[in-house]
Structure 1
């Protein structure tokens, strides 16, 4: 059996440190925010090369608060991609704004910057590029467009911890960047967690208040806020794991390179690392026109796979009110119909990568 992800294997390598961190919190009597979360925030800000990191309870909350702090409100429009996890668009809807989708670059799966300007209207207030699968979007072009039209850029880096664009860390290039620490992410909590990073003092102050009932000090509520605080156990656990993140990234990159070699000539569409990027390979998604049969074959051989994502956001019933039918974003729809995520995690042995590659060397599964 080759699992898609094996969190037990990760735990086996750092279990004692995780347990010690959690026990330290339990004995402290301080279970929400506190010193453990502050220490994580400081370490993560330094890692991302920004001034501030504000810990929250989920990546979705991070996106919600970052957009609010950027001044996006009811009736505004926010440009993003339809090929993403639904939380990206949901966070936009939470504040009464409208997600405006732009099709993707089929080579990187990220938003196509050449299509952004045609989607801008007088109501547009922000762009949310998603660094999908662990590779950063074309940030130079996106930031240039944003400056031209006076728009905020909020990076959805929920799948891109440690990714780089020409040496710049994910989350550090826009007004703010948002991360998820869902357990399956490259940096995952033992539960839920999220983070907003920014070098803006003003944004950081707003987000810190918004995550904690809008108060600037206890029982002094300056704005309407939310209960989006990170719990201390997650802060302590994530601080331990942050120390391992770079080695895990390199392990992922090694396995992704091996996949690239063993899948050469397979006929499958193999993902690429764009020039000037450091892809951190949260997901290794190949493309095939016979996905169902390929997935069934792998399952018979004991190989777990995933689908990220089989239905683009604009075709989800929850967003039917946008009235965007099939054909609205052909590149995103084609990707949704053809991507298949292969097993990839730091502890995956290299022989397993070669086994999966050998199974996929079959002509009938050509892209």
Structure 2
């Protein structure tokens, strides 16, 4: 049912988006000593999944408007050791897949935040045939509590992932024959049932998210210096996941979050730059200044309250608090 919705041949249900990224990277041949070009502005699982196979995530800077991996920066980061490119459809906005496809490298798409997004050519994110990973965590467009899905146009990739998610069991499902390394990455029947029920309601849930986002945009668009999520351009369509803004550069982001809390509005910094996390600093020597666009965006980003049942009054309450805190 999930594959049919996206117009792709195959889909494999998995226990999480992280598990899906791991299986997808293995399926395209990433292994020890390889490099994977990806975005530093993502949830950390995008990079961690590379390390599971002892490959190195090689970061490249992001586009300052769409906040996705910049194709030119990604191309410049490619070396002889590059085994794959892992673009992230950040905050549900479609990455420029045609540009990455021109690199001629295997692609794994991180669409864990992008269910419902559509490319400019009308193809849904996840429908181009590359292994594409969706997440079903509780805050996603569709939830199974925990869970995920990998779509692909390649039957061999599907067969490999189906086996490896199930402890490497042989293709004939022989109980005692495990002919490859595998993992416990299955999604439970109960979670699948919940997902199927949610899939039937997905259009309405996506529409509700788009409604809330439109309300926020109308309420906040005239605040000077506050950067809102980019509008859909060129035929691209966002699958709304969160509503993240960047506060004016003269404002201290953490102070804004604290002041919003005093106004009764919960918010959080989202997302931090992966390369500046302590593990990545220590493991790979990353430092400030490597990816200036990402670092600027990450330092100013605030996720505002966002959920499908949010009312106009609640949006107005948040918008009023933002104005008061920013002095606008």
Q: CA deviation at 1:358?
A: 2.2
CA distance in 2 between counterparts of 1:273 and 1:44 reads 27
1:173, CA displacement in angstroms? 2.2
**Which residue of the other structure, out of 139, 142, 145, is the alignment partner of 1:184?**
139
Query: 1:269 is matched with which residue?
Result: 227
Is 1:286 aligned with 2:245?
yes
**Which of residues 206, 222, 236 in structure 1 aligns to 2:179?**
222
Q: What SS does the aligned partner of 1:220 have?
A: coil
Q: Are 1:325 and 2:287 an aligned pair? A: yes
Instruction: Tell me the CA shift for residue 264 of structure 1.
Output: 2.0
The alpha-carbon deviation at position 363 of structure 1 amounts to 8.2
- Corresponding residue for residue 163 of structure 2: 209
Q: CA deviation at 1:229?
A: 0.8
Answer whether contact 1:79 1:102 (CA < 8 A) is retained: yes
Provide the rounded CA distance (Å) in 2 between the counterparts of 1:299 and 1:223: 51
Residue 36 of structure 2: aligned partner? 78
Question: Partner of 2:197 in structure 1?
Answer: 240
C-alpha displacement of 1:293: 2.6
**1:297 Cα shift?**
2.2
Matched, 1:117 2:117: no
**Bigger share in helix:** 1
Q: Displacement, 1:59?
A: 0.6
Distance in 1, Cα, partners of 2:200 & 2:258: 38
Q: Using the alignment, how far apart are the partners of 1:88 and 1:295 within structure 2?
A: 26
Change (3 A) 1:208 1:45: same
Shift of 1:45: 0.7
CA displacement at 1:307 relative to structure 2 = 2.0
Tell me, in whole angstroms, the C-alpha distance in 2 between the residues paired with 1:283 and 1:110: 15
Unpaired runs of 5+ residues, structure 2, are none
Q: What residue is the counterpart of 2:57 in the other structure?
A: 99
SS in 1 for 2:58: strand
Q: Per the alignment, in what secondary structure is the counterpart of residue 218 of structure 2?
A: helix
List aligned pairs for 1:142-221, cutoff 5 A: 142-145=100-103, 147=104, 151-166=105-120, 167-190=122-145, 192-215=146-169, 216=171, 217-218=173-174, 219-221=176-178
Cα pair 2:129 2:153 within 8 Å, conserved: no
Aligned residue pairs total 318
> Where do 5+ consecutive residues of structure 1 fail to align?
1-42
- Tell me how large the CA RMSD over aligned residues is: 1.4
Equivalent of 1:132, from 87, 90, 99?
90
TM-score after normalising by structure 1: 0.84
Per-residue CA deviations over 1:226-284 (Å, capped at 9, x if unaligned) read: 11111111001111111111111111111111111111221211111231211122111
Of the structure 1 ranges 83-92 and 219-228, higher mean CA displacement relative to structure 2 is found in: 219-228
Displacement of 1:141 after TM fit? Answer: 1.0
Aligned residue in 2 for 1:312: 273
For residues 323 and 174 of structure 1, do their structure 2 counterparts lie closer, same or farther at Cα, with a shift above 3 Å needed? farther
Shift of 1:364: 3.8
Cα distance in 1 for residues equivalent to 2:37 and 2:124: 22
Are the counterparts in 2 of residues 153 and 174 from structure 1 also a CA contact under 8 Å? no
TM-score (norm 2): 0.93
Paired with 1:195 and 1:327, the residues of 2 have a C-alpha distance of: 35
**SS at the partner of 1:104?**
coil
| Structural mapping, 1:31-110, within 5 Å | 43-110=1-68
Contact 2:147-2:191 at 8 Å conserved across structures:
yes
**1:321 to partner: Cα distance:** 1.8
